[in-house]
Structure 1
């Protein structure tokens, strides 16, 4: 691989990441959410109640980030936290009715964002993208 191609590839990935996160922030703001909080809500919607350490692992976030997000989402009424049975140091986090309704709204937003992101691509290319991108994520993580 030559430097010109490597530069173009790295720049495209960087710009896509920044643009996608910015667009996500625009879509989440009217819901009172910041990027990252939606992932926590969707994880709870998908998996049910989780211990904060499990959320940290599932989302690839540091525990202090999860603690901050859960505090904000709890204050907004979207989740509730309770001491974990058998371990009062751990907190079990679960969605409230408000959180479940918000997760449904996020799902609709995410469909729209995905459609915006792949607009103009062939259906075959769009279908292949998740696998390609996850392979790239694995490559970068393996190199760490």
Structure 2
């Protein structure tokens, strides 16, 4: 790939990421949420109560970020934290009734944002996007192990 093609690709991904996050922030603000908090709410709505360490892993964020988000969401009454029965040092996080209602609002917002984002694309392309984007994410994931046969890019 030459520089012009690489630059166009990298710029497009960067701009999409920045603009999607900004649009997410604008849509979440009326709900009293910041980007990232919606993912935590949706994960708990999907899975039920989780230990904070598991939540950190599921969200792909560092434990201190989950701690900060859970404190803010707990203060707002959307989640509750309690000690895990098997390990009093571990905290179980669960949605409150308020959090469940908020997660339902976030689900509707998430559908609207996705539809807004893919407007004008053919249905087939939209159907393929999650797999394509997951592949791109995997390709740049810094936690991914290196190939067994050595470093990439002929190094």
Instruction: Provide the residue aligned with 1:3 in structure 2.
Output: 3
Offset at 1:93?
A: 0.4
Instruction: Provide the residue aligned with 2:61 in structure 1.
Output: 61
Instruction: Provide the residue aligned with 1:131 in structure 2.
Output: 131
Map 1:42-57 to 2 at 5 A: 42-57=42-57
TM-score of the aligned structures, taking structure 2 as reference length:
0.91
Counterparts of 2:38 and 2:136 in 1: how far apart (Å)?
23
Instruction: Provide the residue aligned with 1:41 in structure 2.
Output: 41
**Structure 2: gaps spanning 5 or more residues:** 147-155
Q: Which has the higher helix share?
A: 1
Instruction: Provide the residue aligned with 1:92 in structure 2.
Output: 92
Structure with the bigger RCO (C-alpha within 8 Å, sep 6+) is 1
> Number of residue pairs matched?
144
Tell me which stretches of 4 or more aligned residues in structure 1 moved more than 2 Å.
none
Instruction: Provide the residue aligned with 2:122 in structure 1.
Output: 122
Counterparts of 1:78 and 1:48 in 2: how far apart (Å)?
14
Larger Rg, first or second structure (1 or 2): 2
Q: Which has the higher strand share?
A: 1
143 and 21 in structure 1: CA distance in 2 versus 1, 3 angstrom threshold: farther
Say which SS state the counterpart of residue 89 (structure 1) adopts: coil
Q: CA RMSD in A?
A: 1.0
**Structure 1: gaps spanning 5 or more residues:** none
